[in-house]
Amino acid sequence: MNNLHRFLRRMRALVLGLMPLLLARFVTGAEAPPALKDVFKDCFPIGTAANRSMVMGGAGFRRSADQNAADIATLKFHFNQIVAENDMKWQLIHPREGGNGYEFGPADALVDFGLGNGMQVAGHTLVWHSQTPNWVFAGTNPPPPDATNPPPALAAGTNGPATNRPGRGGFGPGFGRYTGPRASREELLQRMSNHIHTVVGRYKGRVKVWDVVNEALADGQGTNVLRTSLWSEIIGPDFIASAFRFAHAADPDAILRYNDYGLEGAAKRKRLMTLIRELQAQQVPVHAIGSQAHVNVSTTFEAMDQALTEIATLGLPIHITELDVNGAQGGQGGFGANVADNAATTQGGLVADADKRLADAYAGIFRAFVKHRDTVKLITFWGVNDAVSWRAQGRPLLFDGENQPKSAFQAVITTVGTRTAP
């Protein structure tokens, strides 16, 4: 009898002990995963880039209307922050010169969608060398003989035609590869000022954070801090300070970010530190560092931890602005995210054991984010799922094309448990 009682007590204890696990399995099983935004509510908002069809409905790029509806459901369920993947870029929001040259429809829809669904909205991006129309740089001054702005070599198939994508012309003539006679410094500053005042002014109080300058830093191992672009050649390196000052004047309450990729690498990060310290010394209103974090499955906790530790010494909040983790062979060589090189980084098929490597990489990366949660104030993924990703072939996101959470999703949510670690 005693033995039987002992046995029953043990069984009861076992069942009670397993109860939370069983319940968790029921609640968080494949049918109903927890929402990312809830899991990380004590750490940071969790956002995503969204394309036009997600905020306007209908069929989308590579997506039927049904698939798009499922993408929207995932977006609403998991994310509490949103940014336009393309629709606030100069090319799309201000394709023609002058006050009548703006196309606000899709950007307005994104802001309404975000706010209507209780999300914070970020603006991307005001000044960039890419996806900027010719007219912005055009004028009557012949390009200087020493102009060093050759069109970048375009890998075949970089861009797909789509409602939400710029298409083949996106990085071709007309969009940042302009080689004709140029505007003067004053003309270009004036255009920049008009653009920033109009766009930031329109969304004042609704878009609370802006990528003011995107990707101004040079790549590679050379000594240049800044990339050579039409902005830097026509205005000079102070185009960056001017952009921030215009944005601050347009909305003094907005958080203004400097945004770039590759900050997980030492050379690029060093340039960032140089640039931002210089801007700070000149009292330029830079309020946050946007680290795009287009990384790959070879990225470790240590690499991300070191990057965040160093960037944090600037004394500014860090926003992870475009997170994805590339699993394609072609993307394992570095942390580059030059749009012109994008096709190459998704070539070669997936690495061996891609799913597990993705989960491991995401686990390490998020453990670093959680560790640095006092500095890391926002995490934004660059897309809702693999099917709509700009690096679709690298399967870089937490949800597959059917919006099912991948093993990387499970790996990410478990890292929240490390937040109480010393």
With contacts defined by CB under 6 A, name the span among 90-98, 164-172, 350-358, 395-403 that binds ligand XIL: 164-172
# residues near ligand XIL by CB under 6 A? 12
DSSP H or E stretch at residue 233: helix 230-234
Q: Does 170 bind ligand XIL (CB under 6 A)?
A: yes
CA distance 112 to 107: 9
SS3 48: strand
Q: Does 86 bind ligand XIL (CB under 6 A)?
A: yes
Residues sharing a CB contact under 8 Å with residue 322, sequence separation 6 or more, in sequence order: 49, 261, 292, 293, 294, 337, 380, 381, 382
Q: Does 166 bind ligand XIL (CB under 6 A)?
A: yes
CA distance 298 to 277: 30
Q: What are phi and psi of 21, to 5 degrees?
A: -65, -45
Q: Residues 116, 256, 378, 396: what is their CA dihedral angle, to the nearest 10 degrees?
A: 90
Query: Least distance in Å: CB of 243 to ligand XIL?
Result: 15
Residues 298-337 that bind ligand XIL (CB under 6 A): 322, 337
Q: Residues 250, 252, 255, 256: what is their CA dihedral angle, to the nearest 10 degrees?
A: 50
Query: Least distance in Å: CB of 417 to ligand XIL?
Result: 31
With CB under 6 A as the contact rule, the residue among 311, 339, 384, 397 that binds ligand XIL is 339
Query: Least distance in Å: CB of 265 to ligand XIL?
Result: 15
Q: Does 165 bind ligand XIL (CB under 6 A)?
A: yes
With CB under 6 A as the contact rule, the residue among 85, 219, 233, 324 that binds ligand XIL is 85
Q: Give how far Cα 155 sits from Cα of 17, 287, 343, 390, Å.
A: 57, 35, 6, 15
Establish whether 215 is a catalytic residue: yes
Query: Least distance in Å: CB of 341 to ligand XIL?
Result: 10
With contacts defined by CB under 6 A, name the span among 158-166, 233-241, 250-258, 351-359 that binds ligand XIL: 158-166
Instruction: Closer to ligand XIL by CB, 54 or 339: give it.
Output: 339
Establish whether 402 is a catalytic residue: no
With contacts defined by CB under 6 A, name the span among 63-71, 104-112, 163-171, 237-245 that binds ligand XIL: 163-171
- Residues 111 and 153: beta-carbon distance below 8 Å: no
CA distance 255 to 257: 7
Paired sense of beta strands 138-141 and 182-182, if any: antiparallel
Catalytic residue, from 85, 233, 264, 322: name it: 322
Among 26, 50, 49, 47, which Cα is nearest to 37's? Answer: 47
Q: Does 262 bind ligand XIL (CB under 6 A)?
A: no
Catalytic residue, from 85, 187, 215, 233: name it: 215
Q: Does 291 bind ligand XIL (CB under 6 A)?
A: no
Give me the active site residues, please: 215, 322
Q: Which residue ranges make up the site for ligand XIL (CB under 6 A)?
A: 85-86, 159, 165-166, 170, 214, 292, 322, 337, 339, 390
